[in-house]
Every structure is written in C-alpha cells, then in structure tokens.
Structure 1
Amino acid sequence: MKRKPRDGGGVGRALPPPTLDPAGAPEAAAAAAAPADRAMPNEYNYVKPKSDCPPSLPWYAQPPKKMRRPSLLLKDILKCLLFVFGVWILYILKLSNNAEECHIKRVHYVDPERVKRAQKYAHQVLQGECRPHFVKKEMERLFDEKYGTDSSPFVKENMEMNEDIYKYDPPFGFRKFSSKLQNLLKLLPEYDLPENLKTKRCKHCVVMGNGGILNGLGLGHILNQFDIVIRLNSAPVQGYTDHVGNKTTIRMTYPEGAPLSDLEYYSNDLFVAVLFKSVDFNWLEAMIKNETVPFWVRLFFWKHVVEKIPLQSKQFRILNPAIIKNTAIDMLQYSEPQPRIWGWSQNVPTMGIVAVVLATHLCDEVSLAGFGYDLNQPETPLHYFDNLCMAAMNKQTMHNLTTETRFLQKLVKEGTVKDLSGGIHCEF
C-alpha cells in the first residue's frame, strides 16, 4: 500500500505552480490570499528553494524475512567443502613440486679407496667394546637436564605421562586425543622391545638414514650384524641389500611414509608409529585390527597410504611424543610448537633426528649410516633409492637442516655416536 503524503510543505518542498484559468491568467483569489511580503510564484519567477536534504524517497513496507530453504543451505555447505578441497589439492601440488629429479643419469661415482676405508671403519666400530649405558651418560653430559633420561621410548597403557603430553598437539603431544590414544593402547598386547633384546646386556644399534651417500659403500653385510637396525619411513631394502643390508628391527614412520610393499615388512620387526594428526589414529587402529581404512579417512592424507600391514598386533608400537618434544624444544632449542593450517613453522625435527634420539634411549652404543645433507653439491643423489637430487632440500620449509646438522656434528665429534658413512663428520 502506498503511503499518503503528509500535509504541509517542509524545507526543501517546492510549492505547486499556480492554477491558470481558461484564459491563462492567475486566479485573483489566490493572489489576494498570499501574504504581502511574499510574492506568488509564477511561470517566470518560480525558483526551487535550496535544501541540504536529498529529496524524500517513496516509503515501502519491508517484506518479512523468509527462512532459507534447505536446498540453499546445502549449496552453501557444498561450496565450503569444495573450497577446502581446493586448498587441499593446492597444498598437495605444492608438495609434489618441491621434488627435483637429478639431471645426471649416470651412477654417482664413489672412490674405491673411500669404500675400503668406510668398510674398515665400520668393522672396527662393530668389533669394539660395547659399553653398557654409554650413550645415555654421554647425552646427559652434553645436554644436562635437557636430555629426558626418564622418557619411555614407547607409549604404554597406564603410563605416568608428563603434563606436557596433553599440553601440545601431535606430534609433540596428545592434546584432545586422550580417548583415541587409550583405544589404541587397548589393542596393543606389548609396549617394549622384544624380550630377546630387552634382556640383552649391551646393545649396539645403527640408525639407517636414507642418504644417497650409502650408494656404493657396500656396508650391507656389516650393518646386518648390529643388534638393532632402525629404518625410516618407506626406505626400501629389496634391491639395495649390498648397500643397506636386509635386517630391520624397527621401522619408524607415519601413515604417508609407511612402505606400500609387503616385502618391506619382516615377521620379527617392530612398526613404530609417529602420529601427526587426528586421522593417523584412525589409520593405525585399522592397521592393528587388519581392517580396511575407511574412505573418509583416506581423504585426509596428502598421499596414498598403505591399506594393510602384514604384521601382528604385538609388533606395533606408538612413539612417545615426549621424545619429539624433548628433541625439538629442549635439545635443538626450537620455539614452542605453533601449528598452522598446513604443517608447522620449521620446529618439527626430521624423522632421522628423532630416530637418533630414540636410539639413545633404547641402546648402549649408537652408530649412524646414510646421514648428512651436502647442500653445496646440489646434483648429488639425495636418497639411495630414487632420482631426487640434493637441490630438492632447498625448497623444503618444514625442517631446520642447519640446526640439525650442527646437532649431529656435535654428537659425532664428541664421540657420543659413530658415523659409519662419513656424511656428518668423517673419521676414516
């Protein structure tokens, strides 16, 4: 309904033009009624009064608000999901573009004399005296109270946990995941090293890095003689046994890093899971139960993950996040964890560094092989098992390689650990 105009003219309202008689003259009555000091406007002197106010607009009644139809709400939800999915795809593409294949297709040259020296040195280390508790004492000497002497390597049911465990998100803690953790622990019948290793008086361990420096050294037959061999992520054994051996005691990884081939799992090795995010708990539960990973869980991994792991439940372990927190914040002196939408700000140690610290809690003597990033030689092989070159590490933004290298150099130079391949600090 249109609103009737109010009576009376306000400021800014123009007077109507005078009414004309049939002859076109102004009405006399209207002229007489006008005030003496105010001339009646006519077709010659009519001027619209100035005003600071805009002309009034027609008034309309505001229609009542309508409830949004369910179909429109569903469209908004779909738009949000498509946006999130698009960001996720861009992140994956960014990760895939970080890798660079070496242009050099020839086999990387290894000096035969270096091969002899490396094998001789590795023999000497292995045949040397095994000193009980040696590496723990050395870590305490170098880092004092910063080295978590009492940290249990693996999470156990009913284990007394430091309050920091529930202060930080994975991989530094289990904040908001207490119930998921307890559900996993109920599925694990064992929480420690196998009995034959646990009761061994002195254990000599080697942590296997994935570095291309292992190619051509022929250390495989020596590495197989260590009490404990720790391997990282999907680093293959099949086809590389001459260089890396074929013994695996511990395979430490996260879902996206776990080997896809059944041939890389052995009947007696331990699978140590490192949990980084919520769906990692769901994935590990499926692996322990030998069940299929749900489709909605697989959507949240940045690459394809293994569907089944041919191991028994007694072979699974969960890495104590205190090991990662202790390594990152206390020993490497990284800042407090500040998770972003995607990843962290260079305060997450590499799996290799974490494995070295884990070995100091499990073993008495610790050696390294396949460690070291020589960024001054960008076209050298990054890994022993693929065509990636060292230049690819210049694009990664998650790890602080400079700080980690200094940390390892300190351990090797102080004699706390031995470097069998010479990539950190060569002693042969």
Structure 2
Amino acid sequence: MALRGFDNSQASPLQAQCMALEPAETHVIERSGRVQPGGKQKQPFYLLLPSHQPWSTSEQTINYLLTSLPGWLGTGTGAMVTLNRLSVEDSDDGSPLLPEAAEAAIPTPVSHWKRVVTKTDSREFFLSRNENLALSLVLLIGGYSAVLIPAYFHLDQVATFSDDYKHPKDLALLNQSAALLSDPCQPRWCLNHLKPLSCSAGLLDIPVFVQQDRPASWDLSPPLGLQGSEEHLALALSSLPEPGLPPSLRREGSCRRCMVVGNGGVLYGSHLGSHIDQYDIIIRLNNAPVPGFERDAGSRTTIRLIYPEGAPHSENEYKKTTMVALVVFKSLDLDWLTSVITKQPLSLWSKMWFWREVVDDIPLRPENFRILHPEIIHKTGQVLRKYALKQGNMVPTLGASAVVMALQICDQVSLAGFGYDMQHPEARLHYYETIRMDAMKAQVVHDVNAEKLFLRDLVAAGAVTDLTGAL
C-alpha cells in the first residue's frame, strides 16, 4: 500500500473521479496490485483523503486510517500502523503489501477495529446429496437395530424348541379347558353376556364377509373401508362363486363353539391341541403354522384370516383348511386375491408394491375364498378408541378383529394364545419362533395395550373364555 499525492497527469480514470469530487489538493491511497498464485492479478483500489488535513505522520492521520481501513479493505483484513511506516497485511498470506514495511523498525501497535467477521463458504457446512442419503440410511438402520437387535439376539434367554414341554406348563388351565368342553354348548351365550358391556352396541350385527348382492357406499379407505377400490372389488367378487356367509357358518341350526387361536408365545407348551380340534369353528391368523405344532395349536383350520404378505407359503398349511378370508389393506390386495383364484399370476410390476414376497397359488377351490368385511376392522377400531390414550381412527390387529368376527357367527367363543407379556421382554413372542417380546416395541401401527384392556373386559363379562390365561 502506498501513500502519495497525485497530479492530473498521473491520474487513472478512478483517480480522476476522486479528484473531480475533491478539486482541492488530494491524497489517494492506492492498494498496489500483486500477482497471486495461479497468475491472478489483484485489482487496485483507492481511498480519497481530505486535503485540508496534515497527512504526514500525525496521530490524527493514523486514527483516520484505523477508522477507515476496515470498511475500505474488507472484513478479515488486519491493519498495523507505525509512526514511521504505513503497513497493511495481506489477508491471504499475511505478508506486507509494501516492501518498505518489511524493513520497518519495531512497530508501535495501535488497537484494531471493533469487530472481525469471518466469511466462510456455506457449502463447507452441507453434505452432498449422496452423502446426505448415505447418512440418513445409516441413522435409520442404526435406530431400528437398536430396537430390534435385543429382541432377535440373546436367544439363549428364550426357551427353544429343544426345551420341549413333556407336561403341560399350566395343568389348571388345561383342566379348565377340558371342563368347558364337557359342558353342552349354550346358544347365544356370547350375545347374552356381551350386552351389559358399554361397548356392546358397536359389536352387534356386523356383516362378516363382503357380498355381491349387498353393495355398500364406502366412506373410508382400506382397511377401514373400500373407498377407491370399487373396481378392484368388483373384479374380485366376480371370481368368487359364493362371496357371502356359507350355510355352515350361519346362526340358524345347531349351537356352535368357536376357537380363535392367537399367535402368542403363551400357547407354546400348553398342550391344548387336542382340545382346540374339538371346536366347531377354528380361526387362525396369517402364516401361523400348524404342522409340527399340533400338540399346542391343534391340527385343523376352519377360517384363516390373511393379507397377501402374511399368507403361508407352504402348501401343507392349507391341507386341513376350509376357508381363507382376505383382509384388505390396499387395493392391490384385491388384485392379488383375483390372481390366486383365477390362477393368473400378478405382473412383476404389481408384485413390487408388496412389502414382502407373496404367494402365487393357494391350493384351495374358488368357493373356499372370502373377503372379510371392512366393517369388522372399522367397528373393532372404534371400540378400541375407548381404551386408547390417543384419538382418531385405529387399525386393530388381526387377532382382535378375529375375536369380533367370532362374536358374529358363534354362540360360545374361546381364545388361546392371546396376550403380550410386556413385563417380561425375554419371553417368547410367538409360539412358533424364538423372537423375544422386545420386538413388539418396534411396531407403531397397533395399540396392543388398548386391545388387551378390551379383551380383558370381554373375559370379565363372560362373553369369551381365555384358555391360556395371559389376559
């Protein structure tokens, strides 16, 4: 940086403008250009100083420069002034801009300007799109792993299949089941004991299966209704020879006992299999296996409630099955049912929308398929709202929905394998695998606590009987 006077013959265009603004004698400070690494030349800039001041080495000059330099040179530039030399450090490398400054005597430092603002390229604080996506995936996987790993590992704390129960783990419950079966069936037992409950109004006279001759106006989307799925439904119903309630499930006629077999680990070691097989109607859920678990879960199935991703893949599971009823969670589920009945597999594109691989074939005749009426799901969810802490539409589990369905078609209803023992996280979650109870913490769709309270009320009122004692 140089401090010098100018006459008109030496003035550059910018200097000429400065002199035009101040016709009297002026002094212009010019920041000399210097070649930077890479060959870039810094542009010189100028500062006009009033000519009526004595611009020599006076302290007034220094104070003026210290006040002006921050705005003139830009933020981030340091300045040091001496009484003998004027020196400004380059903000890029800290070297003096004037050769004379390097040879100056020991300077007398003068205070710097009031503030220093550091400009940083904002791009340094942001990740690229790929890095952001990778970090999000790592955090997502890490969060789920923190919840699920304790449930899927440490399996040594869970009784494995080799720890076979040679004797019933609860003989009293087994005796209770035997006594119940020894008594004659009581017609309309469930309805008579259900009516005193405050929730009974929402649990009576609900249609069980969707019927072609009873069109409905759907106000809700699946699974609480079929709004937006009318065309898919019409196609599925056209492939069903008997879409409604079959004669064997109608209330007219003899008294019927029903057993709803849950998937809970409490069923393991119960030795209830032979008792379950004595019921008139046995309802199972999704892919809960039967072969290999006959001792505890029985050997036959009257109705299996499923959605496509939960349908058993083994043909052996359907050998002693009378009926499969689809629970619709999305329009594509109806297309899947149509493809299974007509033996025309779905396209690869359609299969991509399922969150899990689905079966292409179920070895049953078309008359053995049904579509569960969404009102079963909707009404069950409405009842559960009375037991839940949060409001809004609720989606019940298939287990709770199966119990409500059984109340519509059975005179007496018993439950086995129901109840989540969240007080014992190391307990078995399902009777057919060694996943721990901890895994239930990962699901956020169902309110299992509300369902437990609801089922407890049904048991307390005598409307249903709990044969495994976990409710």
Find out whether 1:355 has 2:394 as its counterpart: no
Query: Which residue identity is paired with 2:407?
Result: T
Say if 1:44 and 1:310 are closer, same or farther in 2 by CA, change over 3 A: closer
Q: Is the 8 A contact 1:146 1:326 kept in 2?
A: no
1:185 is matched with which residue? Answer: 237
Q: Is the 8 A contact 2:28 2:49 kept in 1?
A: no
SS of 2:197's partner is: helix
Distance 2:391 2:420 in 1: 25
Q: Is the 8 A contact 1:214 1:369 kept in 2?
A: yes
1:365 is matched with which residue? Answer: 412
Say if 1:154 and 1:226 are closer, same or farther in 2 by CA, change over 3 A: same
Q: Percent of aligned positions with the same letter in both sequences?
A: 35
Distance 1:273 1:49 in 2: 89
SS of 1:205's partner is: strand
Q: Is the 8 A contact 2:224 2:377 kept in 1?
A: yes
Distance 2:28 2:292 in 1: 106
2:225 is matched with which residue? Answer: 173
Which structure has the larger Rg over C-alpha atoms?
A: 2
SS of 1:379's partner is: coil
Distance 1:201 1:111 in 2: 37
1:204 is aligned, of 241, 257, 280, to 257
Query: Which residue identity is paired with 2:331?
Result: S
CA displacement, residues 226-263 of structure 1 (integer Å, 9 cap, x when unaligned): 00000001000111111111110000011111101011
SS of 2:152's partner is: coil
1:103 Cα offset (Å):
2.7
Indicate the RMSD between aligned Cα atoms, in angstroms.
3.7
Distance 1:271 1:370 in 2: 20
1:138 Cα offset (Å):
2.6
Query: Which residue identity is paired with 1:330?
Result: V
Number of equivalent positions: 355
Which sits farther off after the overlay, 144-153 or 229-238?
A: 144-153
1:294 Cα offset (Å):
1.5
2:197 is aligned, of 142, 145, 168, to 142
Distance 1:38 1:262 in 2: 100
Q: Is the 8 A contact 1:146 1:330 kept in 2?
A: no
Distance 1:404 1:182 in 2: 33
Distance 2:385 2:166 in 1: 34
1:412 is aligned, of 434, 437, 459, to 459
Distance 1:44 1:224 in 2: 106
Say if 1:336 and 1:175 are closer, same or farther in 2 by CA, change over 3 A: farther
2:379 is matched with which residue? Answer: 326
Q: Is the 8 A contact 2:287 2:312 kept in 1?
A: yes
SS of 2:173's partner is: helix
CA displacement, residues 54-93 of structure 1 (integer Å, 9 cap, x when unaligned): xxxxxxxxxxxxxxxxxxxxxxxxx9xxx9xx98xx69x9
Distance 1:205 1:372 in 2: 18
2:431 is matched with which residue? Answer: 384
Which sits farther off after the overlay, 375-384 or 97-106?
A: 97-106
SS of 2:231's partner is: helix
Distance 2:384 2:247 in 1: 31
Q: Is the 8 A contact 1:115 1:218 kept in 2?
A: no
Normalized against structure 2, the TM-score is what?
Answer: 0.66
Find out whether 1:293 has 2:341 as its counterpart: no
Say if 1:38 and 1:318 are closer, same or farther in 2 by CA, change over 3 A: closer
Where in structure 1 are there 5+ consecutive unaligned residues?
1-16, 25-34, 51-78, 339-346
1:132 is matched with which residue? Answer: 187
Distance 1:49 1:362 in 2: 101
1:378 Cα offset (Å):
1.8
Say if 1:38 and 1:420 are closer, same or farther in 2 by CA, change over 3 A: closer
Say if 1:44 and 1:305 are closer, same or farther in 2 by CA, change over 3 A: closer
Larger RCO of the pair (alpha carbons < 8 Å, separation 6+): 1
1:304 is matched with which residue? Answer: 357
Q: Is the 8 A contact 1:219 1:243 kept in 2?
A: yes
Say if 1:49 and 1:173 are closer, same or farther in 2 by CA, change over 3 A: farther
1:265 is matched with which residue? Answer: 318
Distance 1:203 1:233 in 2: 23
Distance 1:38 1:308 in 2: 95
Where in structure 2 are there 5+ consecutive unaligned residues?
1-5, 11-19, 30-45, 51-128
1:401 is matched with which residue? Answer: 448
1:421 is matched with which residue? Answer: 468
Distance 1:208 1:387 in 2: 18
Which sits farther off after the overlay, 383-392 or 323-332?
A: 323-332
1:125 Cα offset (Å):
1.3
Distance 1:324 1:227 in 2: 24
Query: Which residue identity is paired with 2:424?
Result: Q
1:100 is aligned, of 149, 152, 168, to 152
Distance 2:222 2:243 in 1: 20
Find out whether 1:274 has 2:327 as its counterpart: yes
Q: Is the 8 A contact 1:332 1:404 kept in 2?
A: no
1:197 Cα offset (Å):
4.0
Say if 1:332 and 1:48 are closer, same or farther in 2 by CA, change over 3 A: same
Say if 1:268 and 1:193 are closer, same or farther in 2 by CA, change over 3 A: farther
Matches within 5 A, 1:9-88: 39=23
1:268 Cα offset (Å):
5.2
Q: Is the 8 A contact 1:250 1:272 kept in 2?
A: yes
Query: Which residue identity is paired with 1:209?
Result: G
